[in-house]
Amino acid sequence: MVSIKVGDTIPTTTFQYVPYTSELEDVTKCGIPISLSTDEWKGKKVVLFAVPGAFTPTCHVNHLPPYLEKYDEFKAKGVDVIAVVAANDPFVMNGWARFSGMKDKILPLTDRYAEWSQSLGLSLDLTARGLGVRTERYALIIDDLVVKYVGAESAPGVTVSSADAVLAKL
């Protein structure tokens, strides 16, 4: 059950990710994960969307691509950071970022064991399907660490967490 709501301050956490560098255009190179604290988003407008898993059909085909395609529209609306979160490890997230062409447009963040998403009431137990605990499919607009929009999917598919839904709320 979703516990985070509009007006709440996001809980502090530290995500891991592999930052984009031009060196990573070479598929034989491997980046080193670094940490990113949500405290670094103080004073920034952040669009964060979460997917149950990198390279999974809906996430890879329907959820991520529109965020990339509409990157300039998000920037035109004053968005400082666009991030995608999943419970995958930072190397898998980096592989997905490289394969999808995210470059430095979208941060591919790892929510270890979906702990942060769980603190928001937005985790999903897919253990019965062999996937463990994952992030639900959702989107947040965060402005100066305060939640301005929560779009949590209540059924399979991408509606309230889509790029278009989030753009309409900015």
pLDDT per residue, tens digit, the chain (170 aa), is 789 999 999 999 999 999 999 999 888 888 999 999 999 999 999 999 999 988 888 787 789 999 999 999 999 999 999 999 999 999 999 999 999 999 999 999 999 899 999 999 998 888 777 777 789 999 999 999 999 999 999 999 999 999 999 999 99
Instruction: Please tell me the class of the 14-169 domain.
Output: alpha beta
Domain ranges of the chain: 14-169
Contacts 24+ apart (CB under 8 A), 67-70: 67/106, 67/163, 68/100, 68/101, 68/102, 68/105, 68/106, 69/163, 70/163, 70/164, 70/167
Q: What is the pLDDT of residue 126?
A: 81
pTM for the complete prediction? 0.93
Rounded CA separation 51/84 (Å): 7
Q: Are 107 and 18 in contact (CB under 8 A)?
A: no
30 is catalytic: no
Selecting among 54, 59, 120, 152, the annotated active-site residue is: 59
Cβ burial of 27 (10 Å; 0-12, 13-18, 19+) is exposed
The per-residue pLDDT for 133 is 72
Q: What is the pLDDT at residue 53? A: 86
**What confidence score (pLDDT) does residue 128 get?**
78
